[in-house]
Amino acid sequence: MNNPTGQPVNGPDAPSPLYNYIYWSTLIGLFSSSFYFITVPFHVRLFDAIILVNLLLMIQSIDFARIAKWIPCLILYLAMSGGIGIFNGSDTVTQVAKEFSGISVSLLYFYYFFEMIGNDFERAFANYAKIAFWFAVIALPVWVAMCIFHHGYVRLQGLTSEPGAFCEIVLPAYYWYAHHYFTSRKHGGKVLVFTLAIILSSSSLGYLCVAFGVMLFLSARIRHFVAVPFIVGGLLALAYTASGDFRMRADDTLLALSTQDVSNSNLSTFALISNVFVTQQIIKESPLIGKGLGSYPISHARFIGDVAGIESHMGESWEDINATEAASLTLRTLSELGILGFSGILVFIVYFRTGGSGPYAAISSAILVSYFLKLIRNGNYFPPEQFFFVFIYILTHQHHRHRIRSTISRALPRSSMRQLEYS
């Protein structure tokens, strides 16, 4: 059951300092993807430390033996995928251990985190959105300082590693506040800040995701459905005309796809399209189950030399761009987990999608914008926000379904409800 106060299920009326620390360190940590303790020989993020410390602090308040059945099933599936890859020689113990431990720990952490807060996903998402707004506010003076330092225009990226990463973490909050503005005329100032930040990022991915968010918002309203292709098409045409970066990436991507050659591609296009070609070769060899969890770096090293036009970029050392995560969650899951694994992601997105136009649908759509971005251009399995959004997506669906059932039960006679339950 959802706990509207956001308190631990069996906790006191007022949250303890420990509870507050775990809660707020987790939400703030969602924005820490660019902060590392160690980078060589392996990456240790600030958020990894937050997770490990908080899990230890949760020991006294959480029953770790209680867990949803699907979680050990998913963990077992991932272990089997890695094991098959090692057995077939397409994977290594080190790569499997890295991805398996990262996914498993992140998955378990956010499961127990939401257990601790009584599954109060609404409050958690609302607080994430507030932090995202201030994250965007901070990004603006940082952008000004960077422009001054570089003596010219640079793309806004705030406290992240690149403009695309900035868009990725703030887009769900942007959608959430935009939904409030267009339905109740609230949060106009926040929408303006997000809009300005996204524009200044000059992120092609950010622009595409904004257009996708507009499509989701309008598609939920029947009277606007016919206008969707015209409005979305108009926004993309405007971005293509006004943004040289967007136009260059669009042109280079279409050229590389049509010619099957990356020799004239910019860095961003090269990273994506070269990994598309590598994934094609992997799928030819193992279409159903892929090469195994964590196997992509090995497959990439094997096939990248066969990409047409790669030789023109050797002096720029571009051949290793996104070599560890395929530049896209779609490409990575197809190569490592095959059509079976990628189909599982699509089934998850469709099954737990909350449709309609209410507040739960707005949260669901906001997270769907994030999924859209990740499927296109982020192949990392466990960035800080990944499983935070996964559990909110699931809880939103479950709460929405529970509310529908409660409404039906109040509206129908008890005898009719029994007939529905047995039918």
Residue 315 located in a structural domain: yes
What pLDDT was estimated at residue 40? 58
Residue 234 phi, psi dihedral angles, 5° rounding: -65, -40
324 Cβ contact list (under 8 Å, min separation 6): 296, 297, 300
Burial of 46 (0-12, 13-18, 19+ CB in 10 A): middle
Residue 70 located in a structural domain: yes
Residue that finishes a domain, picked among 307, 340, 373? 340
Task: Please compute, for residue 98, the number of CA atoms within 13 A of its CA located in the half-sphere on the CB side.
Answer: 18
Residue 229 located in a structural domain: no
Residue 301 located in a structural domain: yes
- Token pair belonging to 269: 């296009």
Residues 406, 407, 412, 418, Cα dihedral to 10°: -20
Whole-structure pTM value: 0.89
What pLDDT was estimated at residue 9? 46
Number of H helices, E strands in the chain: 18, 2
Residue that finishes a domain, picked among 321, 340, 359? 340
Sequential DSSP letters for 111-137: HHHHHHTTT-HHHHHHHHHHHHHHHHH
In the 8-state DSSP scheme, what is residue 316? G
Q: What is the pLDDT along the chain (423 residues), one digit of tens a residue?
A: 344 434 444 444 567 899 999 999 999 999 998 887 666 566 788 999 999 999 999 987 788 888 999 999 999 999 999 999 999 999 999 999 999 999 999 999 999 999 999 999 999 999 999 999 999 999 999 999 999 999 999 999 999 999 999 999 999 999 999 999 999 999 999 999 999 999 999 999 999 999 999 999 888 776 666 777 878 888 888 888 888 888 888 888 888 888 888 888 888 888 888 899 999 999 999 999 999 999 999 999 999 888 888 877 766 677 788 889 999 999 999 999 999 999 999 999 999 999 887 899 999 999 999 999 999 989 999 999 999 999 999 999 999 888 877 777 677 666 555 554 544
Structural domain span for residue 320: 246-340
Question: What is the tally of structural domains in the chain?
Answer: 2
Residue that finishes a domain, picked among 340, 364, 386? 340
Residue 24 located in a structural domain: yes
Residue 159 located in a structural domain: no
What pLDDT was estimated at residue 197? 97
Sequential DSSP letters for 294-359: T-HHHHHHHHGGGSTTGGGGGGGTGGGTTTTTTTSHHHHHHHHTHHHHHHHHHHHHHHT---SSSH
Residue 211 located in a structural domain: no
Residue 142 located in a structural domain: no
